[in-house]
Amino acid sequence: MILPTVSPIRLLIAALVTLPVLYLDFLTYQSGNNWLGVVILGLLALGLYIYLSPRAYTFRYLFPGLFAFSLFVIFPLLYTVYISFTNYSSRHLLSYQNVAELLEQDSYIVPDTPCYDYVLYRQGSAKYVLLLVDQSNREQRFLSEPFDLPPGQTVHYPTLVKISAIEPSRSIEGEPLKIAQVTRQGLFIPMRGYQFLLPNGQTLEKEGLDQFCGRNKIWKRNPDGSFTNQKTNSTIRPDFARGIFVDEQGEQIGIGFRAFTGLDSYVKIVTDPEIQLPFVRIFLWTVAFSAISAAGAFAIGMVLAVILEWKEMGLRKVYRTLLILPYAVPAVLSILIFKGLFNQEFGAVNEFLHAVFRFAPQWETNPWGARAMVLLVNLWLGYPYMMLICTGMLQSIPSSIYEASAIEGSNPFTDFFHITLPLVFPPLLPVLIASFAFNFNNFSVIYLLTGGGPKMVGGGNAGETDILVSYTYSLAFRSSENNYALASAIATLLFFLVGTLAWINLRMSSRRIVY
């Protein structure tokens, strides 16, 4: 018999890890997330195999990194693609199950039944009883069994509490609470979860702040998935293609639910004029913005790097340290500072331009002014990185080349264009492409400077300086529609774009990268 080569200590550790994970999995399974439970179980099995079997030795090292990568990078990417095929938005916010549960909770005040005034009594430290007095016949009084009211917390609806009739004269134990006290102690919130059951079978619920009334459920769920209205006897059924409940006439009833709608969001990008027009314009501006930002920052960085590499200049260290500042200061702060400097009325830029040139551009209200401002700020933010990279490249060029060309009688400009640039440009191309891709999704600079504004005429949520990624943010988080599905569809298109750029970049730099 071959004994396993696993040491007892390792088995003990494995057992200590396995037990809590199994318990967690059990809880997950119990809360109704069956699929998640299966996934956790699978991961646990995979982890145990990797850390116990000698054959999977390499993966013991890879597991933490690749696990985090799958969970925090790949899973959200796939989930984004999934959302883009649904109708997830504020009008279809909840799952079908949640909406069906809400329908089942819908109730109406039963006509021709009395409402009740109430007094809440505290018994002991945490138990409460409710005294109900019939408004039409004050002799008719009911007292509930004791129940809990955790202050400020919700109680699962509906939690039933029985109430029974008591004689008018009977006194009640405990401390009566005024409505103001009930409010201040946060007791209304848990009270919303309770239903009080009269001896005759009618349930009572809180109605406003100061009374309880009889309520019945409106909808009854039928075995075939449809719901029947108890008052009018009409029937509604879910339409899973559209994510709504419809009545017999096909009209929407109640709120919608999340449903799989296939390519709808993508079709909308191409056909809906309110999306299509801004989409094309935003796309073109995004390309222009990233190209100018990458090329401009490169040009400025290169010029500064060349000057700072000139050995006969004094104070090079001081200049270099101060010129990196835009890279060292947190970008969010710099961007917000520039928002102030470019302020149209009081900002430093316009005060200076007005004093010297009698000219004050509209950085905030004119689309071209706003675009120029965004670009200027982004160049300011971007050049130090390029300067650092270029400096590194320049230092790797042997000085003998320049000495040789000096003997030939060259000047600095021919040196730069005939020696430096041809040597430096090919290895820097991947950096330029990466910078293009980075600026393609440079959310902060746009969003914090202009918020995408000024507004695009006839473009819905779109603004004149919006780039695609800030536009998706507005669609998802700033508009009242919260169109998560459409935002995810645009994000999915961006994945392909950025992925293609990254792939090209990889091909170009693969000569330099050693695996």
Partner 1 sequence: MKPSQRLRLKKILAHGFLLVALALVVLPFLMVLVASLRKGNFPPNSLWLNPDQWSLEHWKYVLNIPYSEIVNPSTGETRMVQPPTPPLHWLWNSVIVSAVSSAGIILLSSTAAYAFARMRFKFRGHILQSLLILQMFPAVLALTAYYTILDSVGRHVEWLGLNTLPGLIAIYLAGVSTNIWMIKGYFDTIPASMEESARIDGASPFQTFVRILLPVSVPIFAVVFILSFIYTMSEYPVASAVLGTPKTWTLAVGASSLLREHEKLWGHFAALAVLSGVPITVMFLVCQRFVIGGLTSGGIKE
* Shortest reach from residue 98's CB to partner 1, in Å: 11
* Shortest reach from residue 498's CB to partner 1, in Å: 6
Question: CB-wise, 172 or 189, nearer to partner 1?
Answer: 189
Question: CB-wise, 77 or 179, nearer to partner 1?
Answer: 77
User: Cβ–Cβ contacts within 10 Å for residue 142, how many?
Assistant: 21
Parallel, antiparallel or unpaired: strands 235-239 and 194-197: unpaired
* Shortest reach from residue 510's CB to partner 1, in Å: 9
| Phi, psi dihedrals of residue 210, rounded to the nearest 5° | -120, 10
Question: CB-wise, 119 or 324, nearer to partner 1?
Answer: 324
* Shortest reach from residue 338's CB to partner 1, in Å: 7
Question: CB-wise, 157 or 477, nearer to partner 1?
Answer: 477
Tokens for 412? 């600095």
Question: CB-wise, 266 or 319, nearer to partner 1?
Answer: 319
* Shortest reach from residue 64's CB to partner 1, in Å: 5
Q: What share of the chain is helix, strand, coil (3-state, %, to 5)?
A: 55, 15, 30
Distance CA 218, CA 243 (A): 21
* Shortest reach from residue 47's CB to partner 1, in Å: 14
Using a 10 angstrom Cβ sphere, with 0-12 exposed, 13-18 middle and 19 or more buried, the burial of residue 487 is buried
* Shortest reach from residue 21's CB to partner 1, in Å: 14
Structure letter (DSSP) for residue 156: P
* Shortest reach from residue 392's CB to partner 1, in Å: 4
Using a 10 angstrom Cβ sphere, with 0-12 exposed, 13-18 middle and 19 or more buried, the burial of residue 394 is middle
Question: 174 in the Ramachandran plot: left (φ > 0), alpha (ψ -120 to 50) or beta?
Answer: left
Question: CB-wise, 194 or 363, nearer to partner 1?
Answer: 363
For 223-287, the three-class secondary structure string (H helix, E strand, C coil) is CCCCEEECCCCCEEEEECCCCEEECCCCCEECCCECCECCCHHHHHHHHCHHHHHHHHHHHHHHH
Question: 258 in the Ramachandran plot: left (φ > 0), alpha (ψ -120 to 50) or beta?
Answer: beta
Residue that is written with structure tokens 């999340």 in the block? 258
Question: CB-wise, 255 or 331, nearer to partner 1?
Answer: 331
Residue that is written with structure tokens 């392909």 in the block? 496
* Shortest reach from residue 431's CB to partner 1, in Å: 6
Structure letter (DSSP) for residue 134: E
* Shortest reach from residue 346's CB to partner 1, in Å: 5
Distance CA 505, CA 150 (A): 58
Distance CA 67, CA 40 (A): 12
- The string of DSSP codes covering 379-437 is HHHHHHHHHHHHHHHHHTS-HHHHHHHHHTT--HHHHIIIIIHHHHHHHHHHHHHHHHH
* Shortest reach from residue 468's CB to partner 1, in Å: 9
Helices (H), 177-222: 179-184, 188-191
Distance CA 121, CA 144 (A): 10
